[in-house]
Chains A and B, each alone.
Chain A
Amino acid sequence: MKALVLNGSNTEKSTVNIVSDYLVDFLRIKGHEVDVMSLRNEKIASCLGCFGCWLKTPGECVIKDAGRELPRKVIRSDLVFLLTPVTFGMYSSELKKAMDRFPCPILLPFFTKINGEIHHAKRYDKYPKLVAVGVLPNPDEESESTFGTLVDRNGINLHTTAISSIVYSTDKPDVIKEKVISTLSRAGVQ
């Protein structure tokens, strides 16, 4: 399987990096092809909301930077991992910068109905599974539930299945490792 790992940690010392290391090691040991993007080290501009990827260069972003590669990397992957500190119940600004740049190019501007609700139609036949791992300092029911809902909603909008899990920065290394393996197992990664 091909996996894309989007690491949205804001700092070098974040637990998100520990999660990323365990995840990447596990995937590589199992023989999967892994592409890791440490987003805070990438030059990715914020989405301009210009709709150029729908109107001028359909399917391709008009901003020429590392973010332009994201739709290609995403659509050619089987799994996309979203690793982030849970920030007010959502993704960090680093991860969100990347998340804002790929959905529009891989979808059509036209509307379609999913379970009675309007969403954008598919551009491609197949979309990668989304697997999000959020890191929190301590248990926080409201943030965890909002994060889970956000990942589920992203799955609906991107015509795919999405799963999420939470790791606490106070977790011991063995517990973090266990949570990563259990998340991968839920995502169908053997």
Chain B
Amino acid sequence: MQRPIHAALLVGSPKGPDSTSNSLGTYLIEKLEQKGVTSETIYICQSLSSDEKRNAMLQLVDESDLIILAFPLYVDSLHSQMVKTLELIAEHEKGKTELDKKSLVAISNSGFPEARHNNTALAVCRIFAKQVGFKWAGGLAIGGGGAIAGQPLAELGGMVRNKTRALEIAADALALGEPIPDKAVTLMSKLGFPKWLYTWSGNRGWKSQAKEFVKTKSMYNQPYDIARTAKLEKEELRNV
């Protein structure tokens, strides 16, 4: 792996700039920039909207020697837009040479408290790098992403100190052309607060957010339950 000159941050969340993926990726980019690496960020949810934007994304990949994927975990893997992006990059790079001069890093964040939910998604990124010919420079897995909720890490204080430290260690290594050290991987996977507190406040949070739209009881609706649908239809007929 060589020292990177230009890094591409591809944010794979449908929430784009307001996402936790962006908070994490941006922090890493800031630390890399402090070490002289230039960068450009692209939001996948915007770049797939037209051929022109797709081409701009592929051109950015061409011009970068460090590619950072930052995305949320979706159904145990990557969001469909992120998969589409990997498919497009793989097709674009077919037949090109010296691709191992480019390094790939992935940051996967999950709303579940355990970081290990991200393992499959990171394996997918590692396989992508191998199949395309990029150098795999490592993956970082984060649990409890709901606590970051798209806020800049620098504003979250002690709660994310393991994550900021992990990203700083990762930036130090990547700027020198080295893969992400195990210490960064371990620190990143630490929740930073008790698991019970995260799940308890998460459950309360959903109820309080839903209050604006529906009664708490309605949150448990089963609109596609056949028995319930038949009962409702019967009631409707009775009311006619």
Contact = CB atoms under 8 A, between A and B. Distances in A.
A binds B: yes
A100 B219 contact: no
Interface stretch (A27-35, A52-60, A168-176): A52-60
B75 A92 contact: no
Contact of B127 (A60, A123, A146, A157): A146
Contacts of A100: 74-75, 79-80
Contacts of B79: 46-47, 49, 96, 100
Given A75-B224, A123-B220, A124-B225, A47 B74 contact: yes
A148 to B, nearest CB: 10
Interface of A is mostly: mixed
Contacts of A89: 120, 123-124, 127
B222 A88 contact: no
Contacts of B97: none
A18 B221 CA distance: 39
B56 interface: no
A91 B83 contact: yes
Nearest to A102: B75
A58 B220 contact: yes
Interface residues of B, number: 52
A76 B224 contact: yes
A186 interface: no
A111 to B, nearest CB: 4
B57 interface: no
A154 B80 contact: no
Contacts of A103: 75
B154 interface: no
B202 A111 contact: yes
Given A100-B75, A111-B199, A88 B128 contact: yes
A61 to B, nearest CB: 11
Contacts of A72: 223-224
Nearest to B114: A117
B112 interface: yes
A12 to B, nearest CB: 17
Contacts of A93: 80-81, 83-84, 87
Interface string B147-170: 000000000000000000000000
A118 B120 contact: no
Interface string A85-100: 0011111110011011
Contacts of A97: 80
B131 interface: yes
Nearest to B132: A88
B94 interface: no
B237 interface: no
Contacts of B50: none
A124 B213 CA distance: 22
Interface string A77-120: 00000000001111111001101100100101111000001110
Contact of B219 (A49, A108, A146): A108
A54 B211 CA distance: 11
A56 B206 CA distance: 11
Contacts of A109: 203, 206, 219
Contacts of B139: none
A96 B221 contact: no
Given A90-B120, A157-B76, 17 more contacts: A47-B79, A49-B14, A49-B15, A49-B79, A54-B219, A58-B210, A88-B125, A88-B128, A89-B127, A93-B83, A118-B112, A123-B220, A142-B130, A146-B120, A146-B123, A150-B77, A157-B75
- Top 5 A-B residue pairs of the complex, sorted by shortest distance between their CB atoms: A93-B84, A96-B80, A153-B76, A97-B80, A93-B83
25 contacts: A46-B81, A47-B74, A51-B209, A55-B210, A55-B213, A58-B218, A58-B223, A59-B224, A60-B223, A76-B224, A89-B120, A91-B83, A96-B74, A99-B80, A100-B75, A108-B219, A108-B220, A110-B203, A117-B117, A118-B112, A118-B114, A123-B220, A146-B127, A149-B123, A150-B120
